[in-house]
Amino acid sequence: MSSLPSQAEARLAPRAAPRAFQRALQPWMRAIVGVGGVLVFLVVWQIVGSQDLIRSDLISYPTEVLRSLYAMVASGELWANLSVTLQEFVLGFFPAIVLGVALGLAFALSRRLLYLFDPLFAALYTAPMIAFVPVLVVWFGVGLVSKAVMVFLSAFIPIVINTRTGVEEVPEAPIRALKAFGASRWQIIAKGLLPGALPAIMAGLRLAVGRSIVSLVAAEMYVSVRGIGRLVQVYSTSDRAAEIFVLVLVISSLGFLGVVLIRRIEAYVAPWSAAR
Amino acid sequence: MSKIHIDDETLRPAPRRSNDRVEEIGLGVLGVVLLVGGWEYAAYAGWLNPVIVSSPSAIAQAFARQWQSGDLMKDLGISLAEFAIGFSLSLVVGLALGVAMGMSRWVEYAADPFIWFLYASPLIAFYPLIIVWLGFGSTTVIALTFLLTFVTIAVNTMAGVRSVDPQLIRAVRAFGGSRLDVVAKVVLPASVPLVLAGVRIGLGRALIGVILGEMFSSNGGLGYHISFYGAHLKTADLFVPLTTVVVIGVVMTRICAVFERRFLAWRN
Amino acid sequence: MSQLALDRLHLAYENQATGASFLALSEVSFKVERGEFVTIVGPSGCGKSTLLMLIAALLKPTSGALSLNDRPISQPGSDRALVFQDFALLPWRTVLANVELGLELKGVPKDKRREAARRYVQMVGLRAFENSFPHQLSGGMRQRVGIARALSVEPEVLLMDEPFGALDAQIRQVMASELLRIWERDRKTILFVTHDIDEAVYLADRIIVMSASPGRIVKEIKVDFPRPRELAIRNTPEFTLYRKQIWDLLEEQIRNSGSWEQGDVEPAVAS
């Protein structure tokens, strides 16, 4: 969130002109105040938790969370479950990319096809995917397959929709140039529509990562043999707040890493859009 | 410059024609009919296990059953009440926080890390803690709904407040308007588009929160019964609350679209 | 034998909403000799750009015939290359990859087309920018890429559709003289559409003046300035005579069409 000078002016309080040292600190203010706020929060949490001012099994405290993280890593428990979750994710996500982009492209190219499926996709796009967890478990079992299908569904729909809009919004000029230089239909798709839609497709992937991780964890929490969501369930029945915080951190990092990774890939495959 | 229209029909959908709307609706209906009909036929022909996969006719019967017994209306009532409370709380807190963050740099800087953590992290993982803190039932559902929703509204409201043209603020101040005038006559109206977008996304997230909360920590509502029927392998019964949830999602999105169109008429 | 021949072209559009028919071009016939630089000038809506789209075969005429080297024109091909007013570069490609496009679509192998593209990038003076993306370049530089792309397929005819129309007045003059410099090397046939009367006179061996509704040819004017030409010829009395002659042909239409207010047609006489 970069604030442009004009936006800074939009803030209401007309302030006195900042003094020189304040001006020098200005770019750092966000970091200073932000980190300060987080530190204050952590310290208060630590004191309240460790002194048992509020029952510490309910809220835990930062050092206990770290200790639990270490214990879960050291015992191999975390990795044993995380690897299953990652496997389910990969099995669902990659087919979703391939089929999602293909169908999105088809929707953009054929209005008939779009009309045929539009109501179904619109309904699935707005519906909370987690509501489908129980039926997928009934259909595909309690193991890995139902989770992979959940990831697939959660990722597939935003990818289809983003690809479709991306292709539809490729500007007309480059397509005109391709035609003028004699490009065939397939060349127009491969050299025009797909690269032009790439930024939108990557945005769809970012959206899909977040959605599918949430669905995956929820599905594992509903019923599973192994996985991060399964661990959440296990520790919640034994009132272990520290371990749950660890798991929350792990899951958040997964989503964060996924988005960072996609941004990296985007900067590599679509430098023209990342540079803008 | 004379505009050139290159014949583009082979590559993109042609521009809308008057009979296009008819085709759109017709094909949309056809798509749904094909899905339902194909499913029914597959079940009828014995290609699918009727207990596990169920069929549209079995679902219709389950619907009639749940409707007559009043179960469906009861679930709907519980879910909608939780939704309304959770969402209203989110709206009040989200708008207030968003305006505060938009108008004061200090509030924004301090709230930023927390907001982004809540925004980016899968909050469902917190639900066991919420159960531990608030117990089992509606309170937890509402809390989860709130957590999932208010951040979206706050972030969008902040962006909306930030998007206000400083010229307008200067103009109101120049005509002797007070700080309150600025908020009421400029900031709020001008930020409406982004706030509405936040509300739209928030509605979707609130629905997720309600269903999720009910699935894992309550004994009533649509989400609870989706989970319950699933656990008891009653697939046909499961599809009744599930379909209801999907319909709620669609209806909400439609209503939002109408609102946005009405409120945003001044933009072009 | 003339290289490019247009014979009684008609083009009618049908308005999809009202079903009304609109005659964009009527009875357009002319010939272009090999190595000739022809400019087409006319008010907004006279169909001069449409004419280029017909020659490029991106549009089909309602009736009439087009031929290049006595063969009828039926589909887009690399014997004609377009340069567009809005540049129409591929934003996701570097300068070099953009220039390669035409050769790539012809199926020229990678290292060969790269080498050729380098040569043309060098010719338009963008050597230092070959790895830049279009959004990093100024308008003038982008159009140099557009010109290099068109030249790289070694077309028989270069079709330029108000190529400098989106540029500032000063850059425009520089680009026009640059274009002449490049053209002097091999004197490829050029058909150049513009609404700028000065530009039309400065560049052309022959000017085709068109009028609007329906688009048709009003007059053809030969331009007798020797080549190579300097920008300074714009200040000679002869140039002023050409300018006045064209302006007189167009003035009434331009005033009536109202397109002047839209900034589409500049009253070049006043400059």
CA distances, A74 to each of A57, A70, A90, B80, C170 (Å): 22, 6, 25, 45, 71
B84 or A271, which is more confident: B84
Contact C227, C184 (CB under 8 A): yes
Residues with Cβ within 8 Å of A168's Cβ and at least 6 positions away in sequence, in order, are A108, B12
Q: Do B250 and A256 touch (CB under 8 A)?
A: no
pLDDT of amino acid A93: 96
- Measured CA to CA, the distance from residue A132 to residue A157 in angstroms comes to 14
Q: Do C87 and A173 touch (CB under 8 A)?
A: yes
Q: Do C165 and B4 touch (CB under 8 A)?
A: no
Buried b (16+ CB within 10 A) or exposed e, A239-268: ebbbbbbbbbebbbebbbebbeebeeebee
Mean pLDDT over the full length of chain B = 84
Residue A76 Ramachandran class (φ > 0 left, ψ -120 to 50 alpha, else beta): left
C18 CA: distance to closest CA in chain A (Å)? 23
pLDDT digits (tens, 9 = 90+) for B225-235: 999 998 898 99
Model confidence band, residue A1 (pLDDT cutoffs 50, 70, 90) = very low
- Paired with C170 in beta bridges are none
Q: Do A174 and C77 touch (CB under 8 A)?
A: no
- Measured CA to CA, the distance from residue C249 to residue C264 in angstroms comes to 17
Contact C207, C201 (CB under 8 A): yes
pLDDT of amino acid A152: 96
Model confidence band, residue A108 (pLDDT cutoffs 50, 70, 90) = very high
Q: Do B252 and A126 touch (CB under 8 A)?
A: yes
Task: For A240-269, give the DSSP string.
Answer: -HHHHHHHHHHHHHHHHHHHHHHHHHHHHH
In chain A, which residues have their Cβ closer than 8 Å to the Cβ of B124? 130, 214, 217-218, 221
CA atoms C33, C35, C41, C45: torsion sign? positive
Model confidence band, residue B5 (pLDDT cutoffs 50, 70, 90) = very low
By Cβ distance, the residue of A177, A191, A276 closest to C135 is A276
Average pLDDT over residues B130-152: 88
* Residue B148, pLDDT above cutoff 50: yes
CA distances, B172 to each of A12, B86, B263 (Å): 12, 36, 22
Q: What single-letter DSSP state applies at residue B187?
A: I
C115 CA: distance to closest CA in chain B (Å)? 32
pLDDT of amino acid B266: 64
Choose the mutation target among B109, B131, B248, B256 for the interface with A, i.e. most A CBs under 10 Å: B109
Q: Which segments of B12-122 does DSSP mark as H helices, in order? A: 20-44, 50-53, 56-69, 71-103, 105-120
How many CB atoms within 10 Å of residue B24?
Answer: 18
Residue of B nearest to C53 (CA): B4
Q: Do A187 and C105 touch (CB under 8 A)?
A: yes
Q: What single-letter DSSP state applies at residue B176?
A: T
- Measured CA to CA, the distance from residue C267 to residue C254 in angstroms comes to 9
Instruction: Establish how many alpha carbons lie within 13 A of residue C29's alpha carbon, considering only the half-sphere containing its beta carbon.
Output: 6
By Cβ distance, the residue of A34, A222, A241 closest to B110 is A34
What number does CATH give the domain C1-62+158-265?
Answer: 3.40.50.300
Q: Is B130 on the interface with A (CB under 8 A)?
A: no
In chain B, which residues have their Cβ closer than 8 Å to the Cβ of C46? 2
Tokens 């428990």, residue? A77
pLDDT of amino acid B17: 52
Nearest CA among A197, A173, A276 for reference residue C89: A173
Q: Is A270 on the interface with C (CB under 8 A)?
A: yes
- Measured CA to CA, the distance from residue B210 to residue B78 in angstroms comes to 10
Which of A80-84, A123-127, A182-186, C48-52 has maximum average pLDDT?
A80-84
Q: Is B185 on the interface with A (CB under 8 A)?
A: no
Instruction: Establish how many alpha carbons lie within 13 A of residue C268's alpha carbon, considering only the half-sphere containing its beta carbon.
Output: 27
Task: Name subunits touching B (3+ CB pairs < 8 A).
Answer: A, C
* Residue B222, pLDDT above cutoff 60: yes
Tokens 């939002």, residue? B256
Task: For A170-220, give the DSSP string.
Answer: S-HHHHHHHHHTT--HHHHIIIIIHHHHHHHHHHHHHHHHHHHHHHHHHHH
By Cβ distance, the residue of A3, A114, A255 closest to B122 is A255
In chain C, which residues have their Cβ closer than 8 Å to the Cβ of B17? 16
- Measured CA to CA, the distance from residue B199 to residue B157 in angstroms comes to 9
Q: Domains plus CATH for chain B?
A: 77-222 (1.10.3720.10)
Residues with Cβ within 8 Å of B34's Cβ and at least 6 positions away in sequence, in order, are A116
pLDDT digits (tens, 9 = 90+) for C71-109: 999 888 889 999 999 999 999 999 999 999 999 998 999
Residue of A nearest to C75 (CA): A182
Helix (H) or strand (E) holding B197: helix B188-217
Model confidence band, residue C67 (pLDDT cutoffs 50, 70, 90) = very high
- Paired with C67 in beta bridges are C5, C72
Residues 174-213 of C with CB under 8 A from B: 195
pLDDT digits (tens, 9 = 90+) for B233-242: 899 999 999 9
- Measured CA to CA, the distance from residue C163 to residue C180 in angstroms comes to 13
By Cβ distance, the residue of C16, C45, C58 closest to B2 is C45
Reported pTM: 0.83
Specify the range with the lowest mean pLDDT, choosing from B76-90, B157-171, C184-198.
B157-171
By Cβ distance, the residue of B30, B179, B235 closest to A135 is B235
Q: Do A222 and B53 touch (CB under 8 A)?
A: no
Q: Is B114 on the interface with A (CB under 8 A)?
A: yes
Map residue A56 onto helix, strand or coil: helix
Q: Is C48 on the interface with B (CB under 8 A)?
A: yes
- Measured CA to CA, the distance from residue C69 to residue C53 in angstroms comes to 18
What is the percent of chain B with per-residue pLDDT over 70, rounded to a whole number?
91
The tokens of C52 are what?
């280029």
Helix (H) or strand (E) holding A35: helix A20-50
Average pLDDT over residues C28-55: 90
Q: Do C101 and A178 touch (CB under 8 A)?
A: yes
Contact A25, A32 (CB under 8 A): yes
Amino acid at C269: V
pLDDT digits (tens, 9 = 90+) for C169-179: 889 999 999 99
Q: Is B32 on the interface with A (CB under 8 A)?
A: yes
Average pLDDT over residues B215-225: 89
ipTM: 0.85
* Residue B248, pLDDT above cutoff 60: yes
C207 CA: distance to closest CA in chain B (Å)? 19
Residues comprising chain A, all counted:
276
* Residue C271, pLDDT above cutoff 80: no
The tokens of C214 are what?
């329906």
Give me Rg for the CA atoms of chain B.
Answer: 24
Q: Is A108 on the interface with B (CB under 8 A)?
A: yes
Average pLDDT over residues B212-225: 89
The tokens of B264 are what?
């945003």
How many CB atoms within 10 Å of residue B12?
Answer: 17
Contact C81, C159 (CB under 8 A): yes
CA distances, A136 to each of B207, B208, B217 (Å): 20, 17, 20
pLDDT digits (tens, 9 = 90+) for A215-230: 999 899 888 889 999 9
Tokens 């059953």, residue? B65
Model confidence band, residue B3 (pLDDT cutoffs 50, 70, 90) = very low
CA atoms B178, B180, B183, B185: torsion sign? negative
Residues with Cβ within 8 Å of C111's Cβ and at least 6 positions away in sequence, in order, are none
Q: Is C166 on the interface with B (CB under 8 A)?
A: no
pLDDT of amino acid C257: 60
Residue C154 main-chain phi, psi, to 5 deg? 50, 65
Residues comprising chain C, all counted:
271
Nearest CA among C161, C158, C144, C164 for reference residue C189: C158
* Residue A158, pLDDT above cutoff 60: yes
pLDDT digits (tens, 9 = 90+) for A162-183: 999 999 999 999 999 999 998 9
Q: What is the three-state SS of chain C?
A: CCCEEEEEEEEEEECCCCCCEEEEEEEEEEEECCCCEEEEECCCCCCHHHHHHHHCCCCCCCEEEEEECCEECCCCCCCEEEECCCCCCCCCCCHHHHHHHHHHHHCCCHHHHHHHHHHHHHHCCCHHHCCCCHHHCCHHHHHHHHHHHHHHCCCCEEEEECCCCCCCHHHHHHHHHHHHHHHHHHCCEEEEEECCHHHHHHHCCEEEEEECCCEEEEEEEECCCCCCCCHHHHHCHHHHHHHHHHHHHHHHHHHHHCCCCCCCCCCHHHC
A20 or A261, which is more confident: A261
Interface of C with A (CB under 8 A): 56, 58, 75-78, 81-82, 84, 86-93, 101-102, 104-106, 133-136, 149, 153
A170 or A32, which is more confident: A170
C103: Cα separation from own chain's centroid: 21
In chain B, which residues have their Cβ closer than 8 Å to the Cβ of A245? 129
Domains of chain A, residue spans: 16-54, 70-274
Average pLDDT over residues B76-105: 92
Average pLDDT over residues A239-253: 87
Q: Is B164 on the interface with A (CB under 8 A)?
A: yes
C141: Cα separation from own chain's centroid: 17
Model confidence band, residue C259 (pLDDT cutoffs 50, 70, 90) = very low
B12 CA: distance to closest CA in chain C (Å)? 16
- Measured CA to CA, the distance from residue A26 to residue A24 in angstroms comes to 6
Which of B3-17, B164-178, C252-266 has maximum average pLDDT?
B164-178
pLDDT of amino acid A23: 66
Mean pLDDT over the full length of chain C = 87
Domains of chain C, residue spans: 1-62+158-265, 80-154
Nearest CA among B197, C125, C229, B233 for reference residue A135: B233
pLDDT of amino acid C245: 92
C269 or A248, which is more confident: A248
Q: Is A56 on the interface with B (CB under 8 A)?
A: no
Buried b (16+ CB within 10 A) or exposed e, A51-62: eeeeebeebbbb
In chain A, which residues have their Cβ closer than 8 Å to the Cβ of B87? none
pLDDT digits (tens, 9 = 90+) for C183-204: 998 899 999 999 899 999 999 9
Choose the mutation target among C49, C52, C260 for the interface with B, i.e. most B CBs under 10 Å: C49
What number does CATH give the domain A70-274?
Answer: 1.10.3720.10
By Cβ distance, the residue of C24, C58, C162 closest to B1 is C162
The tokens of C182 are what?
């490049």
